[in-house]
Structure 1
């Protein structure tokens, strides 16, 4: 069984996933996402994995 933990991580220690297929984000889509987060809050936090001590890679939530 996997245990999930919610942890605050300095954004400077989070790196993009090199396998991420989404390479660009439209300004309109990003504005829409920002408005949604402003209105409803962040419904799901990003998911990262530790790739070495103090360095994390995004697994899910590239636009967030």
Structure 2
């Protein structure tokens, strides 16, 4: 393996890592943090989540 190939492989790994971090950030933004749920907001969040999923289902049909 040449230095150029190693550099390209490293660049791909960095790009994949950044993509993974963006995906994790996106997923975290879709869910409340644990302390919010522990504070007694589980039922409210579940209802909002159900409503949102139902809306998505209606839009895709």
- TM-score for the superposition, normalised by structure 2: 0.30
The structure where strand makes up a greater share of residues is 1
The structure with more helix, counted as a fraction of residues: 2
What TM-score comes out, normalization by structure 1 length?
0.29
By relative contact order (CA 8 Å, sep 6+), the higher-ranking structure is 1
